[in-house]
Amino acid sequence: MKLGTRGSRLALVQAHAVAAALSAAGIESEIVEITTSGDRGVAGDKARWIDTIEDALERGDIDLAVHSAKDVPAASLLRPGMRLSAVLGREDAADVLVGVDSLDALPEGARVGTASLRRRAQLLAVREDLQVVELRGNVDTRLRKLREGQCDALVLAAAGLRRLGLEREIGATLDPAVFVPAPGQGALAVEGREIPSVLVDPAADAALRAEREVVEALEATCDTPVGVHHDGVALHAFVGLPDGSAWLRDTVATTGDDAAALIVDRLDAMGARELLREAEAAA
């Protein structure tokens, strides 16, 4: 089977993990590196990180596309005939601080680097004095920028650091019930017409589907700070403004199939859609 992936170090580590799982099941595979629009510096929504991989999948040049699940747009935007499933075991979904051992340890006005509107909103909701610096690039690039002094700390995904063997960089883990992760964070997803059952992790897949259902029901976009995380015990959600001046957070303590619909109803009652519209207008 031909596995399509981006050529970044993290993407290749993830693709090799999928290849190893296939090999253990007696299925030979080959990894095909593909440059996406995002890799070429094209601006836009998250689809730019998977667009050319999906093109190759649609043409039949590859059999499966390996994605970081948080990079995949809503189900309604998947290519016709394609399925998406969470595969292997989900890595730690939490956000972490790098460069400091707690938020409280940051001095007033400290510069924290991130390119995520969600992380910006959550940081400022807790510490309005912080300067949130837009910092882009892959994990290695962001770590280099931190060491160069472009910021005092970073917020990154624990999953990426762990998969790259960079756990030593983690200064503190941010509570995912407060700093609610991005939908799909920590999960690997495979897209294709047929996905080998040996790859699919039922628990990770169910969690990913619930998280994506919430985002789609709220009609959230890349311009809206939204976090959704299913930890196997409860479903957590966050909606806010990029400047942290207004936000909503809720938790539904159920793992049932109705968890997503229930938390969407509760968020709606609290005014989540109005907040999302305001966030999008401010973007």
Q: Which residues does the annotation mark as catalytic?
A: 71
The H or E element containing residue 123 is helix 117-126
d(CA 69, CA 76): 15
Nearest alpha-carbon partner for 207 in 178, 181, 184? 184
* 185 neighbors 124 (Cβ within 8 angstroms): no
CA–CA distance, 72 with 84 (Å, rounded to integer): 9
CB 237 within 8 A of CB 122: no
Phi-psi region of 281 (alpha: psi -120 to 50; beta: other; left: phi over 0): alpha
State in Å, rounded, how far the first CA of the chain is from the last one. 41
What is Dmax (Cα atoms) for the chain?
Answer: 56
